[in-house]
């Protein structure tokens, strides 16, 4: 094998900055690739929250490099630290004027410049280090201008991974601020005529290869329903579009070794799982019982995740059935309010923690019997894969990565790992949850399903190799 030089640029890297799965994936993919012998560098902004992280102790690598943007005289430095649990270096792009806030995403006003800066700085960092990557791997709209900045001045290969729900569309008056005015002819002209432009579309146009995080999502985004206005462009580039299901970092997410859990457990000895359920429910002052199934939710509370299916069915289920629900999440106010209401309406059955809490996310994966993910669309989804490993049966909609990773339960055939519904309507989720509740009552069959789920292998050792092959194909190695 010839080692590749791979530059991963991401707005989120766990554990330094995370709002969702992007952070897990960029950290884990980097760990896998460097473990496989490649020269991997990872770049992310040094947000205010990262700067405060006492254990980080980064070393300076580059100092005060000027990078003017439009009329703004900006400059940056680069500091280096090591990704916990590996030798993998992470470069922090330091520019307090842009990234001083603790938040990863600030507002529509500031974000285009913050992420255009990250994208251009990525190229300038390579120049100053005298390091030319074979592959530039960009992630989501935040880094989607890299291929354009690159085409306009440099010449490396690049790969671009995306979630179409977030496109980074901004008014075209901002082009000069982003140093894109001289390259306006390379942007999508129809959009410019309508007065806006899109980071993501620009990335889709200019990357050599497009990847997304499941095979099903790669197909779905070529259709109108989930293409979010980009399906025609994606269809035109279908020969360069590949879906690879994300891996799971089992060094972080395995109940046998998870140091955050109240009790460890494994497929060989599941007894600790009940201890985790008890501890989780005690944390919310709820009663725990072996006989009462507990559903868990850990999620960004956004329209993507499908929670508008819940109001029509959860109150009915909670009244009729013996069941409990623990929810961890934050996001849009309408969903936060809804879960607060649900908790107040069913105080002995529902718990809701509004906010972000990594330890609690692990507790819910371990302590719940079933995990709810009724997503409207889902490029990959990690939580259903974590659930499988934690012996927590996923209830998911058949979309994107959920379709690729959860096998529908069949009582007759004694196969499957979870409950899968098709149509995005409350009735379909209702039926799936009813089927799940019924299956929970058949303890031996349920146990076999749990064990089948725990035996699934979505490790990066399997999934990461697909990326390496793709990198090799795009670089002609
Ligand atoms: P997405 O990236 O769309 O948010 P994924 O399922 O791919 O969905 O990844 C979500 C990741 O974010 C998981 O690691 C999950 O545990 C974590 N997460 C989401 N919301 C929270 C929260 N409120 N607190 C802690 N972790 C969260
Ligand atoms: C996105 C998607 C999610 C995916 C994650 C990591 O945030 O919403 O489905 O798992 O990225 O690729």
Ligand 1 near 298 CB (within 6 A): yes
The ligand 2 atom nearest the CA atom of 304:
8
Ligand 2 near 22 CB (within 6 A): yes
Q: Which ligand is closest in space to the CA of residue 336?
A: 1
Paired strand residues for 325? 295, 350
pLDDT given at position 52: 81
* Alpha-carbon span 190 to 205, nearest angstrom: 14
Ligand 1 near 336 CB (within 6 A): no
Ligand 1 near 358 CB (within 6 A): yes
Ligand 1 near 161 CB (within 6 A): no
The ligand 2 atom nearest the CA atom of 161:
12
**Are 5-247+461-475 and 271-457 the same fold in CATH?**
yes
Q: Which superfamily does 5-247+461-475 belong to?
A: Glycogen Phosphorylase B; (3.40.50.2000)
Ligand 2 near 164 CB (within 6 A): no
Put simply, whether the predicted model's pTM sits higher than 0.85 gets the answer yes
Looking at domain 271-457, its CATH class is: alpha beta
pLDDT given at position 476: 81
Which is nearest to 402 in space by CA: 414, 426, 390, 419?
419
Backbone phi and psi for residue 453, each to the nearest 5 degrees, phi listed first: -65, -45
pLDDT given at position 107: 85
Question: How many Å lie between the centroid of ligand 2 and the Cα of residue 86?
Answer: 23
Runs of H (alpha helix) within 36-157:
48-52, 96-99, 111-129, 146-151
Backbone phi and psi for residue 135, each to the nearest 5 degrees, phi listed first: -135, 130
**Domain segments of the chain as ranges:** 5-247+461-475, 271-457
* Alpha-carbon span 384 to 405, nearest angstrom: 8
pLDDT given at position 99: 97
Which is nearest to 49 in space by CA: 85, 99, 8?
99
Ligand 1 near 324 CB (within 6 A): no
* Alpha-carbon span 458 to 460, nearest angstrom: 7
Question: How many Å lie between the centroid of ligand 1 and the Cα of residue 38?
Answer: 28
Paired strand residues for 7? 41, 136
Q: Kindly report the protein residue whose alpha carbon is nearest to atom 12 of ligand 2.
A: 22
Question: How many Å lie between the centroid of ligand 2 and the Cα of residue 213?
Answer: 7
In a structure prediction context, what are the per-residue pLDDT tens digits for the chain, which is 477 residues long? Answer: 789 999 999 999 999 999 999 999 999 999 999 999 999 999 999 999 988 877 788 899 999 999 998 889 999 999 999 998 888 999 999 999 999 999 999 987 899 999 999 999 999 999 899 898 999 999 999 999 999 998 887 665 666 677 788 888 899 988 888 888 888 998 989 999 999 999 999 999 999 999 999 999 999 999 999 999 999 999 999 999 999 999 999 999 999 999 999 999 999 999 999 999 999 999 999 999 999 999 999 999 999 999 999 999 999 999 999 999 999 999 999 999 999 999 999 999 999 999 999 999 999 999 999 999 999 999 999 999 999 999 999 999 999 999 999 999 999 999 999 999 999 999 999 999 999 999 999 999 999 999 999 999 999 999 999 999 999 998 887
Whole-number Cα distances in Å, 224 to 169, 227, 228, 232, 421? 19, 5, 7, 8, 21
Question: How many Å lie between the centroid of ligand 2 and the Cα of residue 89?
Answer: 23
Ligand 2 near 378 CB (within 6 A): yes
Which SS3 state, helix, strand or coil, does residue 249 take? coil
Ligand 1 near 328 CB (within 6 A): yes
Residue 258 · residue 329 · CB < 8 Å? no
Ligand 2 near 213 CB (within 6 A): yes
- Residue to probe by mutation, ligand 2, list 20, 30, 200, 376, most atoms within 8 Å of CB: 20
Burial group, residue 23, by CB count within 10 angstroms (0-12, 13-18, 19+): buried
Question: How many Å lie between the centroid of ligand 1 and the Cα of residue 20?
Answer: 4
Tokens at 160, concatenated: 């671009």
Ligand 2 near 369 CB (within 6 A): no
């Amino acid at each position: 094998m010839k080692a590749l030089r791979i530059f991963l640029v991401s707005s989120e890297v766990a554990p330094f900055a995370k709002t969702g799965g992007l952070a897990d994936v960029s950290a884990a993919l980097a760990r896998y690739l460097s473990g496989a012998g490649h020269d991997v560098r990872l770049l992310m902004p040094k947000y205010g929250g990262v700067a405060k992280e006492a254990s980080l102790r980064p070393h300076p690598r580059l100092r005060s490099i000027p990078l003017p943007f439009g009329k703004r005289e900006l400059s940056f430095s680069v500091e280096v630290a090591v990704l916990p649990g590996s030798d993998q270096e992470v470069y922090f792009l330091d520019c307090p004027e842009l990234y001083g806030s603790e938040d990863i995403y600030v507002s529509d006003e500031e974000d285009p410049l913050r992420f255009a800066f990250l994208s251009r700085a990525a190229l300038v960092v390579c120049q100053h280090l005298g390091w030319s990557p074979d592959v530039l791997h960009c992630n989501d709209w935040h880094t989607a201008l890299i291929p354009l900045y690159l085409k306009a001045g440099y010449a490396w290969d690049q790969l671009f991974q995306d979630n179409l729900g977030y496109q980074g569309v901004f008014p075209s008056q901002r082009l000069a601020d982003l140093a894109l005015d001289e390259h306006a002819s390379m942007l999508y002209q129809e959009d410019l005529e309508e007065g806006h432009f899109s980071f993501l579309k620009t990335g889709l146009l200019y990357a050599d290869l497009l990847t997304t995080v499941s095979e099903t999502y790669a197909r779905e985004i070529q259709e109108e329903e989930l293409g979010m206005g980009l399906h025609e462009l994606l269809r035109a580039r279908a020969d360069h579009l590949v879906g690879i299901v994300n891996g799971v970092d089992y060094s972080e997410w395995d109940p046998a070794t998870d140091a955050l859990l109240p009790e460890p457990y494994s497929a060989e000895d599941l007894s600790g799982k009940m201890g985790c359920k008890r501890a989780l429910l005690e944390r919310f002052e709820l009663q725990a019982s072996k006989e009462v199934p507990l559903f868990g939710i850990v999620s960004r509370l956004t329209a993507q995740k499908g929670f508008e299916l819940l109001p029509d069915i959860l109150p009915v289920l909670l009244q009729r059935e013996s069941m409990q629900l623990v929810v961890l999440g934050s996001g849009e106010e309408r969903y936060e309010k809804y879960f607060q209401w649900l908790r107040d309406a069913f105080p002995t059955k529902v718990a809701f923690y509004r906010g972000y809490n990594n330890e609690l996310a692990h507790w819910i994966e371990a302590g719940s019997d079933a995990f709810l993910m009724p997503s409207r669309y889902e490029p990959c989804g990690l939580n259903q894969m974590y659930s499988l490993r934690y012996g927590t049966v996923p209830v998911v909609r058949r979309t994107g990565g959920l379709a690729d990773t959860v096998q529908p339960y069949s009582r007759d055939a004694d196969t499957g790992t979870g409950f899968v519904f098709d149509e995005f309507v409350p009735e379909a989720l209702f039926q799936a949850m009813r089927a799940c509740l019924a299956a929970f009552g058949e303890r031996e069959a349920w146990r076999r399903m749990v064990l089948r789920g725990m035996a699934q292998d979505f490790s990066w050792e399997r999934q990461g190799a697909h990326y390496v092959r793709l990198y090799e194909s795009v670089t002609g190695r």
